[in-house]
Structure formats: C-alpha cells, structure tokens
Structure 1
Amino acid sequence: MAKAVLIDLSGVVYTGQTLLPGAAEALDRLNAAQMPYRFLTNTTRRSKRDILRLLRNLGLDIRGDDLFTPARAACAWLKEKDLSPHLLVHPNLAEDFAGCAADRPKAVVLGDMGPFFNYEVLNAAFRLLARGAPFLALAANRVFLDDDGALSMDAGAFVRALEYSSGAQALLIGKPAPAFFDAAAASMGCALAETAMIGDDAEADVAGALRAGAGQAILVRSGKYRPGDERAAEPRPTAVLDGIADAVEAVLAGT
C-alpha cells in the first residue's frame, strides 16, 4: 500500500478556473486518512503564487510547501551551478525567478511562453546555446488542455526546435524528470517506491513516475486524457480510472 500520493493539478484537480467533480472530497479523504500528498505541476504559464491563489479561490487549503513546480526546481539548480537564467517563459512566470542571480554566466531556461514565442526570442536563445550555454527545459509536454477546453501545443515542440538547431541537449527539470518526483516524495519522508502518482498525462505523469521508481501510477480520464492514451507510453498505468475521487479510493484501498 502506498504511504503517500503525488497529484497532478491541471486536468486532475481543476480545469481552467473550475474545480473538477470529486476533487475536494478526494483531498478530504486523504486528510482524514492522514495520507500525505504533494502536488506536482508542469504548468509554466502561472507563477506559484497565482496557482496557490487559484487553488484557494476554488476552496482548497493548500500550503506553498505542498506545491512543486519546475520553476522552483530550476532556481535551485541555477543557484547550485552559480548561473543566471536567460528566460524564455511566460511573463506571468517571471516573478518565480526574481531571486536568481543576474550577473552570472547564462543558462537558457525555457517554459511555455504561449503567444510570446517568436523567431527573435528563439534565435537569441539559440545563439546562447551555440556558444555553450546550458539548456534547462521546465517541461517538455506535447500538449495541454487549454482554458477553452481544447488541446493546445505545449513547450515540448519548442524544446525540440532549439535542440535540433543548436545540437544542445536540454536538461528536463519538471515531469517526467526523476529528480522532480524524488524531491516531492522526499519532502514527505518517503521513498518514491512508497508513493502513488495520479495524473492525466500518460507520458509525463504516469510513465514518467513509473520509470522514476514510483510504486504505482494511476491515469485518470479527465483533463487532457483521450481514449487510447493508456497505450501510448511505457510503462502502462497501474490503473485507468474516471477521476481523482476514484483514484484516491483505489490508493487508500491498496489496489
């Protein structure tokens, strides 16, 4: 039986500005069972502060330490390496890098810029990479469920474009990077093998967690899920269930 739970946010707990059915009750069940949990998100269009505000506006009492974001991990990596970020991120995310040094050698840090991607910003990053700058990808997802309910391109295509042009290999910071899952599990005093992951992305959430060493990973049929996703990546999900409420019940039942 799992001792802790890792939970994706967008598409699992909420979509857009709407709490998904059963999400609040599922978290209540975990609290009542004294099962620790952390939220792992690859969202890079919102700052951590904005995500927490959204969750609290939806009626969820979430502490900042419960939320793991790629920006948080990237800042720690930049500090360790004594580097400054050259940011290709959405303006909403820039505040999460405000504490980073500005006068060190540059590392290119790419997230989902959305409509702010253009040739000039990509080419400026390419030139830094061509001169040997390190390359951090906050996420490399193919698609995400946009606020209008349709799938949109995620940052992965832009990561691949810069890798192709520069010959540099991006270091992935968010899911499915094993260190991202490990850090969240360690914050609960657990080994990753003792945790269960719940997500709507068969690649980044589910297969990524299992490859990293998670004890189980449940794919939910909400958010970006489309029929057949459970067969799209290896390893396959431990289970495929309708939503977070069913997933939490399965974890608590030890199934």
Structure 2
Amino acid sequence: MYKGYLIDLDGTMYNGTAVIDGAVDFIDRLNEESIPYVFLTNNATKTQVEAAQKLLDMGFDIQPETLYTSSMATAAYLRETAPGASVYVIGTDSLKGTIEASGLTVTDSDADYVVMGLDPGINYEKLSKGTLMINAGARFIATNPDKKFPTEKGFVPGNGSLVSVLTVATGIEPVIIGKPEGIILESAVSALGLPKEDVLMVGDNYDTDILTGINGGVDTLHVNTGVTPKEDVEGKTHPPTYMIDNLKEWSVR
C-alpha cells in the first residue's frame, strides 16, 4: 500500500461547511497507522493556519503544517523567480498576507505581476485594474484554474471562471500555480519526503486533482463526492488509478 497521501479538501473532505461522510474517519485511520499526508488544496482564500483551523473546527485531528495551499505555492514561486517584485493581488486579504510574508510588495498600481485568486469581493474595478496592468506588461499568474467548486448549497463559480475574464480581455494566458500543474505537486511531494511511487493523490475533481497525479507520475484515487461525476470519470481516456464512492471504502493498509 501507499506510504504517503496528498489529499484534496473541497469536495473530498468537505463541501462548504458540511463534512463529507467518511472523511474524518479516513484521516483518523491515517493517523493511527502513522502514515504521513499533506492536504494539497487549490483554495487560495485562506492562510495555512486558517485552512487548518477550518478542519480542526470540523473535527479533523490534524496539524497546521499538513496544509499546503495554492497561495503558499504562488508565494514560493514568486519568491524564487522574482524576489522583491511588486504584485497586484485580486483575492482575499489572506492571499495578500501570504504573498507579503514572502518578501513581495503588494501594490494597487504599476505592478510587476498580477496574481488572481478567488475573490468573494470581486468587482469590475478590480478586473479593470488587472486588465490594464497586464496590458501594460505585468505578468499574469493564477493561483488555480478551478472553474467551479462545491458548497453545501451546490456548485458556485471558482477562480478559473473569473480568471477567464482577464484572459479574454488581455489575450494573455496566465501561469497557473495550482493543480493540475507540476509546480504545486513537486512542492507537496517534497514535503512528504517520499518517492512518487509511494504516494497516492486523493481528490474529487478529475481536471485538477486527478490530472495532477497523472501528469506528475503519482497514482490517483478519485472519490465521487464532489466536482466530477462517476460517469464522466469513466469516460476519460486516462482514468484514475482507482475510483470509489466514499473514503470508507478505502483501506490504508
């Protein structure tokens, strides 16, 4: 069996504020067997601590350092490729704080980079500023490409849907940091300290979670509790390594 796990959050552990049946038990079983795991999430609206606190409040027995978000990966990417750069951020205060903590300058004008994460307060002014800066030469980065994500009420627009506005307006495709891109996967696998063949990627979204594993050489487990329906997954040319309806079905040993 696998010696380490990369685990998605939205649609895999919870939908909005509702815990998915079997998710807490799954984490408890990993803890009991001392199997390491990293929560690999495209959600860039929260800091590592905030994302961990949501899980703790839901009854998950986890440590904050097990969280690796697309906002953390974005900040790391910018820190390595453009230290000290100025960044216009379309996103939450948590995303801005994560980027600032990496030594980058967050600004509202003449930025070197435009970084876009899911912003519940999105408006025309923010989209216009981003468009103007990209057209003026700023590089365009998207924390993640998710077109939608599940809540307790149903599916709502994700960051990818909003990123498409700037892509259409500028003709520029962004550098995507989150799943299914390899940038975030390599960082998470490194955190586990295991070879890829010993790691399993667990998620509900074929286009992000499962393709992350397929593209990056990591086995995948699709759980039919979120974005991609079972019927759609079954029709894919490159299927996941495994598919289950509920995490209760999966044995960690």
Question: Normalising by the residue count of structure 1, what TM-score does the alignment of the two structures yield?
Answer: 0.88
Give how far 1:123 is off: 1.5
Tell me, yes or no, if the aligned pair for 1:211 and 1:235 is still in contact at 8 Å.
Answer: no
Return the match for 2:223 from 220, 225, 231: 220
Return the match for 1:193 from 169, 172, 197: 197
**Corresponding residue for 1:40?**
40
Give how far 1:60 is off: 1.9
Number of equivalences: 247
CA distance in 1, matches of 2:37, 2:66: 7
**Corresponding residue for 1:89?**
91
Against the structure 1 CA distance between its residues 140 and 147, is the aligned structure 2 distance closer, same or farther, given a 3 Å change threshold? same
Against the structure 1 CA distance between its residues 93 and 233, is the aligned structure 2 distance closer, same or farther, given a 3 Å change threshold? farther
Give how far 1:92 is off: 4.9
Return the match for 1:154 from 140, 153, 158: 158
Please state if 1:107 is matched with 2:113.
yes
Query: Which residue identity lines up with residue 246 of structure 2 in the other structure?
Result: G
For residues 1-255 of structure 1, what are the structure 2 equivalents within 5 Å?
1-80=1-80, 81-82=82-83, 83-99=85-101, 100-102=103-105, 105-114=111-120, 116-148=121-153, 150-214=154-218, 216-231=219-234, 233-247=236-250, 249=251, 252-253=252-253
Question: Normalising by the residue count of structure 2, what TM-score does the alignment of the two structures yield?
Answer: 0.89
CA distance in 1, matches of 2:235, 2:39: 24
Query: Which residue identity lines up with residue 155 of structure 2 in the other structure?
Result: L
Deviations 1:192-221 (A, max 9, x none): 33211110101100122211111x111111
Tell me, yes or no, if the aligned pair for 2:70 and 2:177 is still in contact at 8 Å.
Answer: yes
Query: Which residue identity lines up with residue 184 of structure 1 in the other structure?
Result: A
CA distance in 2, matches of 1:234, 1:192: 22
Deviations 1:115-174 (A, max 9, x none): x222221111111111221111111111100242x1111111222232232232211111
Query: Which residue identity lines up with residue 229 of structure 1 in the other structure?
Result: D
Query: Which residue identity lines up with residue 88 of structure 1 in the other structure?
Result: I
Q: CA RMSD in A?
A: 2.0
Deviations 1:57-77 (A, max 9, x none): 122232222111011111112
Q: Which runs of 5+ in 1 are unaligned?
A: none
SS at match of 1:228: helix
Against the structure 1 CA distance between its residues 231 and 119, is the aligned structure 2 distance closer, same or farther, given a 3 Å change threshold? farther
Query: Which residue identity lines up with residue 115 of structure 2 in the other structure?
Result: V
SS at match of 2:192: coil
SS at match of 1:40: strand
Against the structure 1 CA distance between its residues 188 and 32, is the aligned structure 2 distance closer, same or farther, given a 3 Å change threshold? same
Deviations 1:62-99 (A, max 9, x none): 22221110111111122221212210103454333342
CA distance in 2, matches of 1:120, 1:143: 22
CA distance in 2, matches of 1:234, 1:89: 35
SS at match of 1:39: strand
Tell me, yes or no, if the aligned pair for 2:27 and 2:61 is still in contact at 8 Å.
Answer: no
